[in-house]
Amino acid sequence: MEAAGPRSISVYLDDDTEPLATYRPPATFQLDTTKIEDGEHLLRLSAVDALGTSGTRIVRFTVRNGPGITVTGLRDGSTVHGMLDIEINSFGGDEPFDPERAESHGPIPVWTWVMIAIVAAWAGWYGLEFFNTPAQFAATPTYASNPALAAANEPADGDRVQKAPAYSGKGAAGGFDYEASGAPAYATNCSSCHGAAGAGVPGAFPSLAGDPVIRANDPKEHITIVLRGLHGKTIAGQTFGATMPSFSQLSDQVLAAIIDHERTSWGNHSPTITPDDVKRAR
């Protein structure tokens, strides 16, 4: 009995009814595209087996042997009116590449210019905002008013040099000037709990205004509480649930400034201390 495999396969081009060739598979053949017009085409393959059953496969392809053509000034499907300036050009695949001939001379689209302008504006802003300002200009009004530049030029923690605050003329005994740094140090470390006006939070943080510890002539307990923290102590018959942490990590000068600020604010008029008093209490 004869096998049912393919007996022949015919090759057709486009809608031709006559095949280009017929082979017994498997086979190899050559297609000369120089004899075919440029454009879209299809190759139709038709196979027939020993039982007479046929099968078809179609392969679409594009021939481009002639010169390439560019058109500038008119697009496919455009609606136009009036006089048009249309630039046409062509180049062949066998020619050396020439950008002047291969590229059409159309104008750069508006959106391209917009993107270039946006990128240039961003680059200029970024450079002005974040470049490292030379030390000789960092303190000038132009650069000092820019918070981003100030942050960028801020020295690292290991390089900081703690400068003594300017003398306010209201220093405590021993020449220690708590007025110059007490209020900002209190605002940074204490006001989030006790409030900017020292009023505290009922049931959580005690008020510092009129506090007997702060008003005491002997500042020892006041210094100890700030240095070591406090929890669970009843103040004026009230128990406060929040824990006051230790601030021993702060320097003697900063702690003394905070304590003196508390002892001389919100109606408190208690004797002030110096950094040496804090140092002795550590």
Q: pLDDT tens-digit profile of 194-204?
A: 888 988 888 78
- Report the pLDDT value the prediction gives residue 163, as an integer from 0 to 100: 45
Ordered structural domains, the chain, with CATH: 1-28+38-69+88-102 (2.60.40), 112-158 (no CATH), 173-232+239-281 (1.10.760.10)
How far is it, in rounded angstroms, from Cα 211 to Cα 232?
Answer: 16
- Report the pLDDT value the prediction gives residue 113, as an integer from 0 to 100: 83
Structure-block tokens of residue 171 = 């220093």
Looking at 55-69, 120-134, 242-256, which range is the least confident one? Answer: 120-134
- Report the pLDDT value the prediction gives residue 123, as an integer from 0 to 100: 86
- Residue 148 pLDDT > 90, yes or no? no
136 in helix, strand or coil?
A: helix
How far is it, in rounded angstroms, from Cα 59 to Cα 55?
Answer: 14
- Report the pLDDT value the prediction gives residue 134, as an integer from 0 to 100: 60
* 138 vs 53, residue with greater confidence: 53
The H or E element that residue 234 is part of is: strand 234-235
Q: How many CB atoms lie within 10 A of CB 16?
A: 10
Average pLDDT over residues 183-188: 90
**pTM of the predicted protein model:** 0.41
- Concatenated DSSP letters for 73-111? S--TT----S----EEEEE-TTSPP-HHHHS--PPPPHH
190 Cβ contact partners less than 8 Å away, ≥ 6 residues apart: 258, 262
Check: CB of residue 92 under 8 Å from CB of residue 67: yes
HSE of 172, CA atoms in CB hemisphere, 13 A: 24
Confidence of residue 72 (pLDDT cuts 50, 70, 90): confident
Q: How many CB atoms lie within 10 A of CB 37?
A: 11
Average pLDDT over residues 167-177: 50
89, burial (CB in 10 Å: exposed 0-12, middle 13-18, buried 19+): middle
Confidence of residue 160 (pLDDT cuts 50, 70, 90): very low
